[in-house]
Amino acid sequence: MIEGILCLFLAYAAGSFPSGLVIGNVFYHTDIRTEGSHNTGATNAYRVLGKAGGLAVLILDTAKGILGVWLGQQAGILLAPDQIELCMIGGGLLAILGHSCSLFMKFKGGKGVATGLGVILYLAPWETLIVFAVWCIVVAFSRIVSLGSIVAAILVPVTMYLFHEPLEIVVFGILAAAFVIIRHRANIVRLLHGNELKVERIHKK
């Protein structure tokens, strides 16, 4: 039982790993919280650190979501073999929570988009491909990552329902979408006022 609980805690701890902060400080000697949108996610990492830094943060943040679901699966095997799917969802939610309320950043963090991508990639890979394609299209035309993330979040439970995923997965999709949208509330206000930041490199003098 203790091992199962430990797996769930590790899912949260894995999500808490501040990828953007670590990549910026270790490889670029830059705290990305001091520039751009001041966020530690992949978008601001791209703005501040460039393509390689942004891609590295994206990969690591997505991996946190995948690892969270896997740890939830192990917890289910140990604690509730007949409810493994629910435990996987729980592990994924804990990873997203860890990313947004990190143990290592005084319970502050990112918006959970890339980590959420890792979670749905593990739980519903085909839906993830569709949602990611839509995100790419929206961002390519608008150059606004937050808009693409909000649209993608809304599509997650819709595609899960259309693909006849189990009710638990669809409910997770709804909760995850709501969480991402709530985390983007300031972005929504800026979008409505027409002054949201676009995904552009910051050129230092």
From first to last of its 205 residues, what are the pLDDT tens digits of the chain? 889 899 999 999 999 999 999 999 999 999 999 988 888 988 899 989 999 999 999 999 999 999 999 999 999 999 999 999 999 999 999 999 999 999 999 898 888 899 999 999 999 999 999 999 999 999 999 999 999 999 999 999 999 999 999 999 999 999 999 989 998 999 999 999 988 888 776 655 4
Instruction: Answer yes or no: is 202 within a domain.
Output: no
| CA distance linking residue 61 with residue 23, whole number of Å | 11
Question: Quick check: is 157 in a domain?
Answer: yes
In a domain, 200, yes or no: no
- Asked whether residue 54 is domain-assigned, the answer is yes
Domain count, the chain: 1
CA 153, CA 149: separation in Å to the nearest integer? 6
Q: Does residue 120 form part of some domain?
A: yes
Which domain does 149 fall in, by range? 2-193
Residue 198 forms part of a structural domain? no
